[in-house]
Amino acid sequence: MIVIAKPGLPKSTLRGVQGFTLIEVLAALAIGSVVIVATAALIHNVALNFDRRTGVVGRADQMLLAIERLAADFAAARLVSQSLAPQSGGGGNRMAAFTGGPTEVKFVAAGGTVAGPQGEEVVSLTVEERDDRSQLVRRRAPWRGPRTPFETIALRDPVQMLEGKVEIAFAFGSLAADGTVTWSDTWSGQPLPPRLVRLSIRDRASGAELVPAVQFALRADAPISCARPGAKATCLTGRGSKSVKEQPAKEAEPAKDQQAGGRG
C-alpha cells in the first residue's frame, strides 16, 4: 500500500510503515488490465457463439415452418383444366393450371383468406436472388374461375419463407403404371398436375444437403377431405369406390343360399 504522510506526523512513525513503490503499482495496473481484457474477450466469444447457436436454431425452425406451409399448399392443390387457347372460346387440348420450374411453381389451391368466387386461390413459390443470398417467396391471388387466363394473374402479398446462402430448387415427379417415379425440372402444358413435388435445399459453399430431399404428394384428383390435416389414404376416391363395389357382392350371397335351400 502507499502511505501518504499527513502534515504534523512524526518522521519516526513513517520509518516503520512499508508501502508499494511506483513500479509495483504500475505492474499491478498492467496485470489488472490484462485480466480485464482477457475477461472481456472471453465474454465476447461466449456471446458470439451463443448468437451463432441461436441463429442456427432459428434457421432450422424457419425451415421446418416453411416445409409445413409448403406441405399444406401442395396438399390443397386443385385440378383445374383450361384450354390451350382460352381466347378462342374453347376447343383444342386441355391443360392443368399448374406450371413449374427449378425456381418457380404456380398452381391453384383450395381455401385461403383471399379465395375468389370459386373458393380457391392461385399460389406461387419463387426463388429470388438478393446479393449473395437466396429467398423463397410465396405469393397469392384470388382465383376467378377457369375462364381467367392462368398466366396473366397478378400475384400479391409476398411472404418470405426461406432465406440464406443456400441453393433452392424444385423438381416434379410423374408416376408410371408400374409405380416408378420419373423426375423432371419443368412441368408445363400437361393435362394433369405432377404427382410429386420435390424440394432440395443445399449449402451454397459446400453443396451439402441441409435437409433430406422433401417430397410433397399432390392429390389434385382426390376430394377436398384429403387436404385437411391428418388426412389418410382412405380419403382417396379410388378406395372409397372399391369398398362400395364390394358391398353388394357380399349381400347377394345369402340370396343364393335361400334358393338352394328351397330346392332341397
How far is it, in rounded angstroms, from Cα 153 to Cα 142?
9
**160 pLDDT above the threshold of 60:** yes
* pLDDT for residue 255 is more than 80: no
Q: Which three cell numbers stand for residue 4?
A: 501518504
For residue 16, pLDDT beyond 90: no
Which one is predicted more confidently, 3 or 71?
A: 71
More confident residue, 181 or 146: 181
CA–CA separation, 254 and 262 (whole Å): 13
Tell me the average pLDDT across 98-114.
86
CA distances from 30 to 1, 3, 38, 43, 142 (A): 17, 21, 12, 20, 70
Q: For residue 148, what pLDDT is reported?
A: 82
Q: Are 121 and 143 in contact (CB under 8 A)?
A: yes
Instruction: Determine the pLDDT at residue 95.
Output: 87
**Mean pLDDT value across the chain:** 74
Choose the most confident range, by mean pLDDT, from 26-40, 50-64, 120-134, 138-152. Answer: 120-134
Q: What is the pLDDT of residue 104?
A: 95
Contact (Cβ atoms closer than 8 angstroms) between residue 126 and residue 117: no
Mean pLDDT of all residues in 79-84:
78
**Percentage of residues in the chain with pLDDT exceeding 90?**
21
Better pLDDT: 231 or 32: 32
Residue 123 pairs in a beta bridge with 107, 140
How many Å apart are CA 100 and CA 114, to the nearest integer? 22
* pLDDT tens, residue by residue, 189-204: 888 899 999 999 998 8
Residue 252 confidence (pLDDT) above 90: no
Rounded average pLDDT over 30-40: 80
Report CA 154 to chain centroid distance, whole Å: 23
Spatial CA neighbour of 182 closest among 172, 169, 192:
172
Residue 128 confidence (pLDDT): 94
**How many CB atoms sit inside 10 A of residue 186's CB?**
14
